[in-house]
Amino acid sequence: MTAEEQTEARKQPQRRFSAVRAVANTMIAVGLILIGFVLYELWVTSYFARRAQGALQEQFRERAAAIELEAVPYKNTGDRPDAPFQVPADGTGPTETGVDGNGEAGDGNGAESVIVVEPAPLLGDAIGRLVIPRAGVDWSIVEGVERSDLRRAVGHMPGTAAPGQPGNAVLSGHRTTYGAPFYNLDLLETGDQILVETASGTHIYEVVDSLVVEPAETWVTGQWDGAWLTLTTCSPRFSASKRLVVVARLVAGPNAAAILAGL
């Protein structure tokens, strides 16, 4: 073996070691980046979302003190709620009927009553407070479900009923990031209470069902007779492949008697 061959033979292990070290350094760097990303998503975003809660609560109090509520006529038709989760006529509890189901007419006579409404909010406004004891939720609600909205609060979907009003009020929230207000939404059971405070008062809902749907199943945001609350979030945790949906019905509050009479 010549001197050149001997030198080349000595260099080969060094080259292999350098290549292995370069790969290892790259893997370490990628691992650190991934760890940093996870820390940011789970903790940093939640820190800023929780910090925003104090300011949003103050905005809500200011809005509630400044706006003028209005009493408007409301005529209950006496029809059973046209919804996938109807209150049975015998009052024993909720039953699933299908989106197009329409139950028997109630004993109401279509008498006109009065409900309290508040002015429509602007996008981004703090409009209320959501409290769910079983899920450990006490979170501000803002008008809108854009990324900027859900990064600081639970969002109310524009175009759906306002909480405490006739129809279906739809609220969306994060499951694992930005404070994860809906992290434990899967713990809710039939009969659990959900409280929504708005400028018109505190509205109490009872859970009637919890289900997982495909993202394309937009019927859950539809408007139904009666007064309903639909909560939506991602499912399972750390994935956006499906949607966890909790449906609740209004049972008490400023407008409950008028809306529920005869249903």
Please identify every residue annotated as catalytic: 174, 234
Q: Can you read off the two tokens belonging to residue 191? A: 């009969």
**114-115-118-124 Cα dihedral, nearest 10 degrees:** -150
From the list 157, 178, 144, 141, the residue with the least C-alpha distance to 64 is 141
Centroid of chain to Cα 70: 28
Q: What angle do CA 144, 148, 149 make, to 5 degrees?
A: 35
Residue 16: count other Cβ atoms within 10 Å of its Cβ: 10
User: Are the beta carbons of 220 and 230 closer than 8 angstroms?
Assistant: yes
Q: Kindly give, in sequence order, each residue whose CB lies less than 8 Å from that of residue 249, ignoring residues fewer than 6 positions away.
A: 81, 85, 87, 94, 205, 206, 208, 226, 227, 228, 229
Q: Which amino acid is at 114?
A: V
